[in-house]
Amino acid sequence: MQESRERVRAAIRNSSFSYPLKRITVNLAPADLRKEGPAYDLPIAVGLLMASEQLNADLSRALIIGELSLDGIVRHTNGVLPMASLAREKGFDTLFVPAADTPEAALVPDLNVYPIETLFALVMHLQNMQPIAPYRPMHDFTPETAPSYATDFAEVRGQEHVKRALEVAAAGQHNCLMSSPPGAGKTLLARSLPSIMPNLTLDEALEVTRIYSVNDMLPTNSPLIRHRPFRAPHHTISHAGLVGGGRWPHPGEISLAHRGILFLDELPEFDTRSTEVLRQPLDNNFYL
């Protein structure tokens, strides 16, 4: 946030606008909620232009998100989908987001999403000089279409008793503990398990996509995750990496496996603190 001052100042000047030559205070309320990330750059710049009377627009029902580069280009921002969902819940009907994040924001229905390339383009749109057309999503979610997985359960030969146990676990959303000598096929069977699980519904897909959006882990070819996640962290993973949290809280492997599979290979090698935290997810009957 400290660096945001320089980005906003340079972006305004390089977009052919005047930066106010006086003391400026930006109120990021509530003060007790710690702010991080560059998503506030674009709204701060628009607020400065409105306060200095270089822009006159009604933004009472609009939400603006975006990072500014020094030349005024609006850059990709993490977590656009959760912010778009919250905007709809709070009664906003218009959303201005970086052009690269428009397909992600458009996953939320009942929102007019506008792709913003530059600060100058946004100001021209708000002044009705060069209107920007709202984004119309081209994708169609069809739950009947089976996603492709790297390993198909139908291609596994043998191990009939283990496959039967995994089928029961997948049908009842149970947890499994597989124990056998090395090379028996535990990892192969675990990786193929998502292929026999039900396809994600739209609500489930949006839940998973929100988590991956916050972590900036969405696939480049699709804004919506349509397959069930399979997470297999190494046993040397830290506690924060598995559970989540940290100085800047972020989802851990448990959250990234939401609606999918969390495969803990070599379970006894994980540290005691990490395995103890798994008590509650196991009790809640998550997919593990």
| pLDDT computed for residue 285 by the predictor | 53
Q: Which domains does the chain have, with CATH numbers?
A: 4-126 (3.30.230.10), 176-283 (no CATH)
Give me the half-sphere count of Cα atoms (radius 13 Å) on the Cβ side of residue 56: 1
Maximum distance among all Cα pairs of the chain, rounded to whole angstroms: 76
Contact between 145 and 128 under an 8 Å Cβ cutoff? The reply is: no
241: its two tokens: 């990496």
Q: Which residues contact 55 (CB under 8 A, 6 or more apart)?
A: 46, 49, 123, 126, 127
Among the residues of 68-201, which ranges form H helices?
A: 80-89, 102-105, 119-126, 160-172, 186-192
Q: How is residue 213 written in tokens? A: 């959006």
Question: Are the C-beta atoms of 52 and 18 separated by less than 8 Å?
Answer: yes
DSSP 8-class letter at 184: S
pLDDT for the residue numbered 226: 87
Residue 286: the pLDDT is: 46
pLDDT tens digits for the chain (288 residues)? 778 889 999 999 999 999 988 888 999 888 888 888 899 999 999 999 999 999 999 999 999 999 999 999 999 999 999 999 999 999 999 999 999 999 999 999 889 999 999 999 999 999 999 999 999 886 666 765 667 788 889 889 888 999 999 999 999 888 889 998 988 899 999 999 999 998 898 889 999 999 999 999 998 778 889 889 999 999 999 888 998 887 778 899 999 999 999 999 998 899 888 888 887 767 765 443
Residue 222 and residue 147: Cα distance in Å, rounded? 13
